[in-house]
Amino acid sequence: MEPEIVSKEKEVVSKNFIEQIIEKDLAEGAYDKICTRFPPEPNGYLHIGHAKSILLNYGLSQEYNGQFNLRFDDTNPTKEKVEFVESIEADVRWLGADWEDRLFFASDYFDQMYEAAIKLIKKGKAYVCDLTADQIREYRGTLTEPGKDSPYRNRSVEENLDLFERMKNGEFEDGTRVLRAKIDMASPNINMRDPVIYRVAHMEHHRTGSKWCIYPMYDFAHPIEDAIEGVTHSICTLEFEDHRPLYDWVVRELEYPHPPKQIEFAKLYLTNVVTGKRYIKKLVEEGIVDGWDDPRLVSIAALRRRGFTPESIRKFVELCGVSKANSSVDYAMLEYCIREDLKLKKPRMMAVLDPVKLVIDNYPEGEIEYLDAPNNLENESLGSRKIPFGKELYIEREDFMEIPPRKYFRMFPGNEVRLMNAYLVTCTGFEKDENGNITVVHCTYDPQTRGGNAPDGRKVKGTIHWVCAEKALKAECRLYENIIDEEKGVYNEDGSLNLNPNSLTVLKDCYVESNFAGAEAYDSFQFVRNGFFCVDSHDSRPDALVFNRIVSLKSSFKLPK
C-alpha cells in the first residue's frame, strides 16, 4: 500500500465521532458554517465537567472556522442569579474560550418562544391541559404501558389560543394549567407522550422581572434557542439522548429552515472528587468547604485558586477525548497535566515547610552572603537569582535524624551533606527540649566548597534545601488530599458523602526564601522537593504569605496508551 494512503486513513480514524459528523455535514452542504454553543444554566459555578463542554464546543468552532456562542439558559428563574452569570463569564474567559460578541440569554427569546407555542397551537400540535401534575404523571403510563389521552387533548384551536393567552395574562394560579405538545401518548419514548412545554409560575426573573408568569420547559426552549441563534451542532451530554426525538420534533414542527442537530457525548467524571453542581452546593452550604472556590473542589474557580492553569485544563480535556460511554478519569491525570505545564515555566524556590534550625558554628556571626541559584534546572532561560545565606538557617525537620536508618544520606551526627547551591556542611551535634524534640542542629561548613562542590572532588550523597533564618519570610502552606476517599466508597450508609478527614492540612510555621517578597495572588512556584505551590487569592498578604499546594512533584501515574 502507498504510504500516503496509510497516513490519510490514520488521520480519519483519529477524528472523534463529533468531528466525523461535522465533516460529513459540511461535505454534504447541510450547513455552510458551523456554530456551537455552551449553554449553562446560571444556577451555580462551573466545574471541570463544564470545562470539557466549553473546550469541546469552542475547539470545534475554531477547528472548522465556525462560531461559538455563550448562552445563558435562564428559563427557570427559581435557582438563577446574576452572581452566577458573572462567575460563569469569568470562568469561560479564563479557559480561553472567546465568544466575541456572541453572548446570549435564553430569556431574550421569551417573546419568540411564546410565538412558537402559538404556532404549534394553530397547527393543532399543542393544547392547554388542566390536569394536575400528579394526574399528568398518572396518565403518562410507564415504560411497559402506554399513556392515556388527557381529557383536554381535543380542545379546539380557538379555546387553546384563548386559554394560553390567559395563562400568559396571569389569570391562573401556578400549577393549574399547562401547555402540552400534542404528540403521541402511546409512544415507546415517554418524552414524546405529550410533554409539558409551558407552565404557569408567578416568579420574578433576574432579567425579565415580572413580565412573564409563564415559563417554557427546557425541552421546548432549548431547541428554539439553538435554532434562533443558528447553532448547527447542539452538543450535550448522554442523559439527553432520549430527549432527541422531542428536540427534532420541536425544530421540525416550528419549520426552521436549517434546523440544528443534537449530538450527545459522555459526561466527564473524575475519581475521588465531587463534580456535580448539586454535591458541590451541598458541601458549600453545609460549610464543609470554604466556598465555591475552596481549592479542594473542582469548580473552575477552585482549580484557578488552587493554581491550575488554563493550559493544563486544556491538555487534560484533550487527553480525556470525547466518547459515547460514561467512565471516570483518574484525578492523577489532571495532576499530571498541571505538573507538565508548570515544570519548565516556574522557578524552583527554597521553602521549608516543617522547619528546624540549623546553626553553622564556624560561620562568621552576623554575616550574610548572597549565593547564585539557577531558577529552573531544566530551563536555563529562566536565569538565576541570588539567595541570602547566613549562620542560622532553617532546614526540614525530616532532613535530620539522630539515629539514621540505612540509606539515609541527609543530616545525622558526623555526616557531611550539601546545602543546595551553598556549601558542604558536616553535622556536629544537636539540642533537644525536655520532651525529646530536636530544637537545633549544629554543623560546621567548609568555606572551600562555595556553590556546593569540594575542590578535592570528595563526594557527598545528600543534598538538602534550606532558607536563611534572618532573611526568610514566614508563610502558611496548605496541603490537600482528595475530598472523598473513593476506595472507602463515595457514600456512607446514610447516604451522606464519605469525606476524607485529611483533605486539608494547614502548616502555619513555614519559612520561604526572601525572593518570595512581592509574590501575588495566583503566582506559582516549584518548592524544592515539596511540590508546586500557588499564592492563595483569598488569604495571602504581602507580610503573611499563604500558599496552596497545587500538586506534589512525583506520582506513579502513567499516561494511558
The residues of the shown chain that bind ligand ATP, judged by CB under 6 A, are 39-41, 49-50, 52-53, 236-237, 267-268, 275-278
How many beta carbons lie within 10 A of that of residue 29, not counting itself? 7
Q: 498 near 488, Cβ under 8 Å?
A: yes
Task: Specify the DSSP element, H or E, that contains 408.
Answer: none
Q: How far apart, in whole angstroms, are the C-alpha atoms of residue 108 and residue 354?
A: 56
554 burial level (CB within 10 Å; 0-12, 13-18, 19+): exposed
- Cβ-based nearer residue to ligand ATP, 52 or 465: 52
Which residue carries 488530599 as its cell?
481
- Cβ-based nearer residue to ligand ATP, 45 or 139: 45
- Cβ-based nearer residue to ligand ATP, 298 or 349: 298
- Cβ-based nearer residue to ligand ATP, 44 or 347: 44
Q: How far apart, in whole angstroms, are the C-alpha atoms of residue 359 and residue 427?
A: 10
| CB 49, min distance to ligand ATP, A | 2
| CB 270, min distance to ligand ATP, A | 9
- Cβ-based nearer residue to ligand ATP, 53 or 375: 53
Q: 328 near 541, Cβ under 8 Å?
A: no
> 61: closest CA among 224, 232, 257, 309?
232
Provide the angle, in degrees to the nearest 10, between the axes of the packed helices 310-320 and 48-63.
Answer: 80
Radius of gyration of the chain (CA): 31
Instruction: State which residue has the least CB distance to ligand ATP.
Output: 49
How many beta carbons lie within 10 A of that of residue 140, not counting itself? 17
- Cβ-based nearer residue to ligand ATP, 47 or 168: 47
| CB 238, min distance to ligand ATP, A | 9
| CB 61, min distance to ligand ATP, A | 15
Q: How far apart, in whole angstroms, are the C-alpha atoms of residue 416 and residue 404?
A: 13
Alpha helices, DSSP H, located in 96-242: 110-122, 133-140, 157-168, 218-229
- Cβ-based nearer residue to ligand ATP, 18 or 512: 18
| CB 317, min distance to ligand ATP, A | 9
Task: End-to-end CA distance of the chain: give it in Å, rounded.
Answer: 26
- Cβ-based nearer residue to ligand ATP, 289 or 475: 289
| CB 54, min distance to ligand ATP, A | 8
Q: 445 near 360, Cβ under 8 Å?
A: yes
> 70: closest CA among 88, 44, 52?
88
| CB 226, min distance to ligand ATP, A | 11
Q: 153 near 110, Cβ under 8 Å?
A: no
The grid coordinates listed for 288 are 464543609
| CB 383, min distance to ligand ATP, A | 41
| CB 471, min distance to ligand ATP, A | 47
- Cβ-based nearer residue to ligand ATP, 53 or 312: 53
| CB 497, min distance to ligand ATP, A | 15
- Cβ-based nearer residue to ligand ATP, 234 or 415: 234
> 117: closest CA among 223, 188, 191?
223
Q: How far apart, in whole angstroms, are the C-alpha atoms of residue 464 and residue 466?
A: 7
